[in-house]
């Protein structure tokens, strides 16, 4: 992935981006998949992250392989969940 992006940042309007790797959380119908070290472009001004279509399609294909076709993920972790209402009212 190079540092070109076809449009300015949708958050701040900046036109400069830098290649980065980041964690991507794919969520659909209450099911999650977390992928580390995903290539992306980040706005050099505000840090908003953009992914190319090929990367997103590959992430989706892996999600479907795991959840719909029984493929084994590289690693399985337990993730805690909270509801905002419980946190908001906690001391």
pLDDT in tens, 22-80: 999 999 999 999 999 999 999 999 999 999 999 999 999 999 999 999 999 999 999 88
Can you list the alpha helix ranges (DSSP code H) found in the chain?
Answer: 53-69, 84-89
Cα-only R_g, the chain: 17
CB 41 within 8 A of CB 19: yes
Can you give the pLDDT at residue 81?
87
Residue 2 has pLDDT above 70, yes or no: no
pTM of the model: 0.82
Q: What is the mean pLDDT of residues 7-32?
A: 95
- The span from the CA of 89 to the CA of 84, in Å, is 9
């Amino acid at each position: 992935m190079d540092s070109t992006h076809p449009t300015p940042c949708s958050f701040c309007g900046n036109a400069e981006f830098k290649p980065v790797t980041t964690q991507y959380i794919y969520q659909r119908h209450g099911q999650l998949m977390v992928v580390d070290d995903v290539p992306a472009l980040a706005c050099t001004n505000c840090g908003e992250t953009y992914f190319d279509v090929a990367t997103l399609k590959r992430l989706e294909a892996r999600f479907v392989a795991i959840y719909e076709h029984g493929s084994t993920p590289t690693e399985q972790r337990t993730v805690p969940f909270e509801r905002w209402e419980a946190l908001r009212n906690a001391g």
